[in-house]
Amino acid sequence: MDSAIFEVPGRRQADNDLTLLPEASKSPPPAAGQRRPQSGHRSRWPWLLVVAVVVPLLTPLYNHIQPRLFGLPFFYWSQMAFVGLAACVTAVVYLATKRRGS
């Protein structure tokens, strides 16, 4: 595709534009004796995020007034607890799936 179509008149193209380098995004070949990770392998950690999404949708589980916490009905403080649960689950999944060295 011709990049001249997308040029803005009066604007100079940056000298360090990496979009012109198709080889820049390729990873280096593995060292001798090392195997490249399989691209088809999927981690099961992201499935844990389903807990953070599905549990708050199950309103019959927490549609109660009692027990109260600091005067707040269970319905409200349980929703606030779900926010903390979602943050913790997201952090665990991120740490478990992030690539080493990045």
Domain boundaries, the chain: 55-95
List phi, psi (to 5°) of 19.
Answer: -70, -20
**pLDDT digit string, tens, across residues 5-49:** 666 666 665 555 555 555 555 666 666 666 655 556 678 888 999
The answer to whether residues 21 and 15 touch, using CB atoms and an 8 Å cutoff, is no
Extract the tokens encoding 26. Answer: 């390729």
Quick check: 50 pLDDT over 70? yes
For residue 86, what are its two tokens?
């979602």
Contacts for 55 with CB less than 8 Å, ≥ 6 apart: 61, 82, 85
Looking at the predicted structure, is the pLDDT value of residue 70 above 80? Answer: yes
CB 80: neighbour CB atoms within 10 A?
11
